[in-house]
Structure 1
Amino acid sequence: MSFLHQFNALTSPEFRADPYPVLAFMREEHPVYHLSPGLTDSWHIFRYEDVRQLLLSPDVFSSDRGLQGGGDMADANLSFLFNNMISASGDKHRRLRMIANRAFMAKAIEALRPAVQNVVDTRMEIALQTGDFDLVEDFAAQITVAMICEVLGLPPEDMDQIRQWTAVLGDNSGAVTWLPELDPALAERGRLAGGEMTAYFRDFLSRPGWSGEALFAAFRNAGPEGEQLSEAELLSMAMLLLLAGNETTTNLITNFVRLLDAFPDQAARLRADPALADGAVEETLRMRNSIRNIDRFALQDVEMHGVTIPKGARVVVWLTAANRDPAVFDDPDDFKPDRSPNRHLAFGQGAHMCLGAALARMETRTAAHAILTRTSRVELTAPPQLGVNANFDNVTRQMVRFHPAETPA
């Protein structure tokens, strides 16, 4: 049976419900696949070694979104939000990455550990006393929201609105790849959310008394030799940190719990030996990484597996397919907390490797350890509500119940 008709992250119910059989078929039968249902043609890459090499070749495959052109197509992909390092290349990327690295040094991230532990402990106490609750909004998002407030110096009371904005922007991601024509309502919701976020941050950054101790404050004046980020760069960096540090880690914590439910034998093993928690987080990153694919743009004609990727082409790199490649991972569909080595690509590779990886790991490991030591069982009490965009591995609602451990650790 061919899965080609199911291969669409925005319009295929089958792909939205379970993309992994489709991706396995594509990886085996169509390692480079030319897709043209969307506003622009795209070439999709699925195998581990191809993905890894592509990510390590920025001189051939660029992340510069300026290469997609302008007009409605760029608006549909929210290009006005991406004046940051994730969408830059060459000297601009090196400059922005150097500034960001100063704010995300290991010492700065480690200083957040007590705050992470405190918010996890607080949410665990509430969860254990609540009965049924939404794992996404009542637990995972509360942890990541608290930390993103800490990092950016934002008022916690603003985060409900910000989460609504980031949800809209996530729904819109990848529209140019998958939709055969522009959806005016979808594009308008994205433009409106982006405009409101921009206005919010422009106002916020001009407020007197803005926290100078937040990590984000370091971006303001951290340029080399006293150079400052432009307003557009500063605003875009804020949005990048919100999208990357909020939605993705929320999804990761949620997906860890969903894997415990899917693999009860491994869940029992982890509770018996919580020292395996860090490995379980890495295995969650491999199996259920929050962002399933990322885009690159070919700077020259490239031949791969008998297919020519033309200069200027949009290349969609499937991290989640690479992470289940049986050529690299034994039993790739099995959850193995002690998998070693575990060379997953969930955070990318090379110059654009995820800046927030250390913070995401710290948050998720802390939450995972608390769940394993303070619960005897996590019960999913209702089916999940799936996100509308299968470019992300997320659910928007998952009702659960945490059953307390007999002897709390």
Structure 2
Amino acid sequence: MDEFNALTSLSFRADPYPVLARLREAAGVVRLHPGLIESHHVLRYRDIQAILAAPDRFSSDRSLLGGGELGDANLAFLFNNMISAGGEKHRRLRMIGNRVFMPKMVERFRPAVEAVVTERMEMALSGEEFDLVEDFAAEITVAMITAILGLPRSDMCDIRRWTAVLGENSGATTWLSTMDPEMLERGRRTGLEMTAYFQDYMNDRRARPREGDLISDFMAVEVEGQRLSDDEILSMAMLILLAGNETTTNLIVNFVRLMDAFPNAAAQLRANPDLTVPAVEEVLRMRNSIRNIDRYALAEEEVAGVTVPAGGLVVLWLTAGNRDPDVFDAPNVFRPDRYLPGTATPKHLAFGGGPHFCLGAPLARMETQTTARAILEQTKVVELTAPPMFGGNASFDNITRQMVRFHSG
């Protein structure tokens, strides 16, 4: 099934939805072995939802993949955090994370978001053509993430480079039939570079304690008499840097792309910008930044009639579940009012579910809502002036370049 490969199929990277829809309708669970390990791909909403809600049966613990080259290829050494932990370790990390990510923390960074959105809108409204990805969306999200972590915004170039390399490596063992030594080495070097970078900032915080950023918060917070270890602080900080940067950048870009693809919906939004909040939820449903996530079966399990062996890799295609016609009416249509308060629309899967529901969801929503509203209120038209350049890994709904021009009148 060569057309269904997140790393090697150019057509799938450009538009995976027809393939995912056909596989979802025909099988629901697809057993594949294109890569170094066998994988079981789950595509239906209710099956995905059930697996996310059962961490005692389907674990996110990456150590189950094993060590050596397999673990290195998927950069397991970087993920000593909540995404990769299970059981008691996840419960402890989640409690500490919840303490740090309280609603008041999100709100204290709103002025920083509004300031950088204002700055980027001034640039965008100059009338010149620009890259929606790097010149606009990434500038907003990196400014936000560096403010949250207490890092200098001038490090943006390094941050974006790290994101690109680690995104390229994601799922390598699932999709590549042979180990790519160059990719492996790029990922290893990048991981070591990031670790050294954050270690310097941890040392600085210890020498000069301060308040108001998450590195300091992670070092200080205590739950049930326990604090995070140095390795856990490093991994949590890197998780926030990578996940918060790339996913929200993609989400802002995908909002604009959906506005272009559905001009009637765009007109509806411009006429009523108060629909911004439900519209962002609809973007999350249709074009969620992370298309799939991994789980490992702790024992032999049956999913939609397919037997998954103990230790088997299960790939949950959130983006396929979010377009499941058994759950969502007209799933391929962008409806800004689909998630109006009071409607009975099922929850989307963009942020996962169960105990591993994305801790940074409030931040991503706040950034995207603020940016989307500014675009709606300050532009009449957003013109896509060139075809997009697609990312190298279809596990993410991202493009690397999209030239645009904003028109205010």
CA distance in 1, matches of 2:323, 2:190: 34
1:79-119 superposed Cα distances (whole Å, 9 cap, x missing partner) = 00000011000110010111111110011111211221111
Shift in alpha-carbon separation, 1:210–1:15, aligned structure 2, 3 A: farther
Q: Which amino acid aligns with 1:267?
A: A
Q: Post-superposition shift, 1:225?
A: 4.4
Whole-Å separation in 1 of the counterparts to 2:366 and 2:198 = 27
The two structures have a TM-score, normalised by structure 2, of 0.96
Deviation of 1:221 (Å):
2.1
Match of 2:108 among 108, 111, 114: 111
Q: Which residue of 2 aligns with 1:354?
A: 358
User: Is residue 153–residue 210 contact of structure 1 (8 Å, CA) maintained in 2?
Assistant: no
**In the alignment, is residue 171 of structure 1 matched against residue 175 of structure 2?**
no
SS at match of 1:401: strand
Looking at structure 2, the residues matched to 228 and 376 of structure 1 have their Cα atoms a distance apart, in angstroms, of: 50
Aligned to 1:313: 312
Partner of 2:342: none
Q: How does 1:92-171 map to 2 (within 5 A)?
A: 92-171=89-168
- Given that 1:285 and 1:344 are in contact with CA atoms closer than 8 Å, whether structure 2 keeps it comes out as yes
Q: Which residue of 1 aligns with 2:241?
A: 242
Distance 1:148 1:306 in 2: 43
Aligned with 2:400 (options 389, 396, 401): 396
In structure 1, the residue matched to 2:83 is 86
**TM-score, length of structure 1 as denominator length:** 0.96
Question: Given the superposition, is the C-alpha separation of residues 225 and 51 from structure 1 closer, same or farther in structure 2, using an over 3 Å criterion?
Answer: closer
1:383 aligns with 2:387: yes
Question: Which residue among 16, 24, 27 is the counterpart of 2:21?
Answer: 24
Specify the SS of the correspondent of 2:315. strand
Matched, 1:372 2:369: no
| CA 1:73–1:40: 2 relative to 1, 3 Å | same
Q: CA deviation at 1:228?
A: 2.6
Matches within 5 A, 1:321-360: 321-340=320-339, 341-360=345-364
Q: Give 4+ residue runs of structure 1 displaced > 4 Å after superposition.
A: none
Alignment-mate amino acid for residue 323 of structure 2: R
Other-structure match for 1:46 = 43
Moved more, 23-32 or 300-309: 300-309
Q: Tell me the distance in 1 between the aligned counterparts of 2:38 and 2:19.
A: 20
Conserved 8 A contact 1:252-1:290: yes
Q: Which runs of 5+ in 1 are unaligned?
A: none
Instruction: Report the equivalent of 2:296.
Output: 297
Name which of structure 1's ranges 333-342 and 289-298 shifts more when overlaid on structure 2: 333-342
Shift of 1:211: 4.5
Q: C-alpha distance in 1, partners of 2:188/2:128?
A: 39
Matched to 1:193, the amino acid is T
Identity rate, percent:
64
Work out whether residues 43 and 321 of structure 2, in 8 Å CA contact, stay in contact via their aligned partners in 1.
yes
Residue 34 of structure 1, aligned match among 31, 36, 59: 31
- The aligned residue for residue 261 of structure 2 is 262
* 1:199 alignment partner in structure 2: 196
Taking the aligned partners of 2:304 and 2:238, their CA distance within structure 1 comes to: 37
Cα distance between partner residues in 2 of 1:104 and 1:116:
16
RMSD over aligned CA atoms reads 1.1
Return the alpha-carbon distance in structure 2 between the equivalents of residues 374 and 209 of structure 1: 42
Q: What SS does the aligned partner of 1:206 have?
A: helix
- Distance of 2:298 and 2:226 partners within structure 1: 30
Give the secondary structure class of the aligned counterpart of 1:383.
coil
| 8 Å contact kept, 1:283–1:342 | no
Indicate if the aligned counterparts of 2:47 and 2:304 stay in contact, CA closer than 8 A: no
How far apart in 1 are the matches of 2:24 and 2:209? 49
**CA drift at 1:331:** 0.6
Residue type of the alignment partner of 1:312: G
How far off its partner does 1:215 sit? 2.7
2:219 alignment partner in structure 1: 220
**Larger displacement relative to structure 2 (272-281 or 44-53):** 272-281
Identify the range of structure 1 (213-222 vs 103-112) with the bigger mean alpha-carbon deviation. 213-222
The aligned length equals: 402
Q: In the aligned structure 1, how far is the partner of 2:234 from the partner of 2:254?
A: 30
